[in-house]
Amino acid sequence: MSILQEKSAVSQLPPSIKELIKVLYGGKRFGNHVDEVWPNLYIGDMSVANDRYSLWKLGITHVVNAAHGRMYCQGSHDFYGSTVDYYGVPADDSPSFDLSCYFFPSAEYIQKALDSTAGKSRVLVHCAVGVSRSATLVLAYLMIHHHYTLLEAINKVKEHRWIFPNRGFLKQLCALEMKLRKLIHYVVG
């Protein structure tokens, strides 16, 4: 890709929220309790997150709880013990909740976990149902560390799991995409 093509790509806007919702509605519309959506990266719901035996069977070494402190999502270092590292994000599944302030810290946590122990780490990102908050953090991770556009990240995750971030989170992910594009434009241009 030439520099001109890269600059042109940077100036394009991400899809609209309406277009993203249409993509999200496509395909299967049911989910499992947990799915591997990227090598050694899983999205799940509270039932799997609260089942230490299931986590052990999956080989989960790290847990990101995107509903930390919320009812039925009371995970903590004490709950998981010394075999699982825990990272809590106290997010509400509300379009007005600013989840974007957790995009970079969560993405860094996931990347460091996946890079650790010679590729033997497995990360579960969960919330109550495993379709909005947790999916949003995984999409942000793919955009930040694997340079996917939002649409590419959605399509990649949807190959393995039904997800549906709320409209507010989609807007925040669009803003992240524009921020990342400007960063690429700054580095390239």
Inter-CA distances, 10 with 4, 40, 52, 183, Å: 10, 30, 44, 9
For position 3, what pLDDT does the model report? 42
CA gap 139, 43 in Å, rounded? 11
DSSP string, 79-93: HHGGGSEEEE----S
Residue 113: is it exposed, middle or buried by C-beta count within 10 angstroms (0-12/13-18/19+)?
A: buried
Per-residue pLDDT of the chain (189 residues; tens, 9 = 90+): 434 344 444 456 778 999 999 999 887 777 799 999 999 999 999 999 999 999 999 999 999 999 987 665 666 777 888 889 999 999 999 999 999 999 999 999 999 999 986 678 999 999 999 999 999 999 999 999 999 999 999 999 999 999 999 999 999 999 999 999 887 655 555
Q: Which fold has domain 17-188?
A: Protein-Tyrosine Phosphatase; Chain A (3.90.190)
For 2, other C-beta atoms within 10 Å of its C-beta total: 7
Coil, strand or helix: which one is 136?
helix
For position 5, what pLDDT does the model report? 40
CA gap 115, 134 in Å, rounded? 20
Instruction: Parse the chain into domains and list their residue ranges.
Output: 17-188
Residues with catalytic function: 127
CA gap 125, 40 in Å, rounded? 11
CA gap 72, 24 in Å, rounded? 26
For position 7, what pLDDT does the model report? 41
Question: Do residues 126 and 33 make contact, with C-beta atoms less than 8 angstroms apart?
Answer: no
CA gap 16, 183 in Å, rounded? 21
Question: Do residues 91 and 133 make contact, with C-beta atoms less than 8 angstroms apart?
Answer: yes
For position 10, what pLDDT does the model report? 47
